[in-house]
A = this chain, B = another copy of it.
Amino acid sequence: MHDARPHQVHGVPQAAAGLVDALRARGPRVHCITNTVAQAYTANVLLAAGCVPSMTLSAEEIGGFVASADALLANLGTFDPERRAATGVAVEAARHHALPWVLDPVFIDRSPPRAAFARDLVARGARVVRLNHAEFAALAGGAATHEAAIAYARATGVVVALSGAADLVTDGTRTLTIRNGHPLMAKVTAMGCAGSALVAACLAREPDAVIAAAAALVMLGVAGEIAAERAAGSGSFAIHIIDALAALDADTLAKRARVAG
């Protein structure tokens, strides 16, 4: 039998499986700048994966919290002068302490000032940007094709994790598609934000940002598939996915991962 999958694709399910164990063994602390809608669910998803969330948004304190964290999530879901200031301080602290950080540019397609702020954050060294097609178009100024995502990643140095029917992860050179997940994930508020927080958590344990981003999306996607088998609707689904993530074992993850190059 001939295995046509390139090496890095072949390795992603195994890397994701390894990360499930790594997060549980030594849970990284992930500082999350996220909107108030998403905070509690994001915290519970991180806890289920073995991580430690912190969520302070005060500009005067956030530098210290980021300095002692293992990764940072900057979600633009709420956008006001205080939040912008806190994000600036947090990103500066992340740079200073060489912490990996993820940008989730929520709803920048609906707000030009957010889009401008997101472009500035990419330029300031976000390791991964996780976004949907409309947000990508607002960020990069063009349709969200695979080619555009690859070109944007190459031009800016950020790893693009583009969600859609299949998720795309690219650093401009390597490109993966991930087909895990379930439609109910779109019916639970904060699911995307929680996914971005998991990307940050994986970056704390896996320096290759393509692998880390893909692994996080596979983890949450597989948990979503397991949860959907048990759920009676979006309410119970939101609960089952946390249970599934908490119970996820490396073998199940490796078997269910659907990653292609």
Contact = CB atoms under 8 A, between A and B. Distances in A.
A15 interface: no
Nearest to A235: B242
Contacts of A58: 78-80
Q: Contact residue range for chain A?
A: 35 or more
Interface string A236-257: 1011111111110000000000
Interface string A92-116: 0000000000000001001101100
Contact of A107 (B37, B54, B238, B242): B54
A53 interface: yes
| Number of copies of this chain that the complex holds | 3
A236 B239 contact: yes
Interface stretch (A3-11, A61-69, A169-177, A205-213): A61-69
Given A47-B189, A188-B44, A233 B238 contact: no
Interface of A: 35-41, 43-44, 47-48, 53-61, 64-65, 68, 77-80, 82, 107, 110-111, 113-114, 187-190, 231-236, 238-247
